[in-house]
Chains A and B, each alone.
Chain A
Amino acid sequence: MISVLDIVELILKFVGLGLIILGGFASLISAIGFHRFRNFYLRLHATTIGTIWGCVYPLIGISLLSITLNDLGASRWFIAGASFITALIILILAPAGSHAIARAIHKSKTARVQPCIADLLDKDLCG
């Protein structure tokens, strides 16, 4: 007989595995984008994809997956909690960091927006 607990465990396991695979895929996309995108702001966007989709989601996946690994004993709760907290902290810190970098670069007029459709903050940097 399959109990409810088994089903929950199965769901957690496959959601966790799916999140980890998604993270690997996103890291690949982020690496390609980091090399191929045309200007600084787009490349920064690609690296942020690498930190949010490639770091936060796999960490949540690890925390879900480690709950189902009964072989680890009580230490699986430590792994789950530490992964989840780390994911939360990265989720807070990474956007703030990329925002600060982008704002500083744009304010100091270091990188031009190129190709440009519209730059409402500073028209001189467009094009």
Chain B
Amino acid sequence: MKLAELTLLVTLILSLALMLTFAYNYLAPTPEVRNLALFYLITTYNPQLPYYTVNSPEAVTAIVWDYRGLDTLFETAVFYLALIAGLALARRLYRENPVSFLSTNGGLSIIVKTVTKITSPMIIAVGASIGLHGHLTPGGGFQGGATIAVAPMVIIITFSVFYLLTRKVTTEKMLLIRSIGLIGIGLTAISVFIIGLAAGRLAFVFQNMPKANAPMGLPGQVNGVLISGTLWFFNLFEMLAVAAGFTMAFAVLMLAGKER
């Protein structure tokens, strides 16, 4: 029995190694990739190339929301569907847990509760800063939203999930904020296209800056402050959507069902 397991394991490892050996030529990046990386680095913030630049010093956000923006849109959609599936799994828990019936006095000691009350606004502020500066510094909408969602997580652990629910942070409201975020992302994606339609000029979906054949675009700067066209709006709405989505998921995970 042991020998059979060992043989299976060795065969698996050896076949994987063989596959990797053959696949190396395709997996390892060729030198041409460097030109692509150089293109991104040179054009991401370059006022001298007005038809190529994204006007964002942060190349990662520029790639995620401009160069390959459609990909990120579908990633957000996948995350949304996963959350909907989680909510559907927990759809009967609300009827089993009437909020008014349950006590809200539980949780950790008063020391931890006070510290949580002091620090959770700080967590939300840091998350908003990460999200809204996503086009300038490392970070972005998803990271900022995930940081904001730490605050309700800490509150759920130190107080209880019913503390959140009695403070009107319900999953319905979180779903509403999340939907607002997703609608915002969708509208931002087609905003330049709509502007182009209104002006009667050529414009594309997911276009950000003016291009040589499509002269419409959002401004890179507002009053001398960089907003990088659509990137700031994408980060804002993504931050709202991710923060609300994670809060909803944590609240649903922490609701206990009735014992059967």
Contacts and interface: CB of A to CB of B under 8 A. Distances in A.
Contact of B111 (A89, A96, A104): A96
Interface residues of A, number: 9
Interface majority SS on A: helix, strand, loop or mixed?
helix
Contacts of B112: 96, 99-100
Chain B contact residues: over half helix, strand or loop, or mixed? helix
A89 B108 CA distance: 20
Interface residues of B, number: 10
B108 A92 contact: no
B119 interface: yes
A65 B189 CA distance: 48
B118 A100 contact: no
Q: Nearest 3 A-B pairs (CB), nearest first?
A: A96-B115, A100-B112, A96-B112
Given A92-B119, A96-B111, 13 more contacts: A89-B119, A89-B122, A92-B115, A92-B118, A93-B115, A93-B119, A96-B115, A99-B109, A99-B112, A100-B109, A100-B112, A100-B158, A103-B109
20 contacts: A89-B119, A89-B122, A92-B115, A92-B118, A92-B119, A93-B115, A93-B119, A95-B111, A96-B111, A96-B112, A96-B115, A96-B116, A99-B109, A99-B111, A99-B112, A100-B108, A100-B111, A103-B108, A103-B109, A104-B108
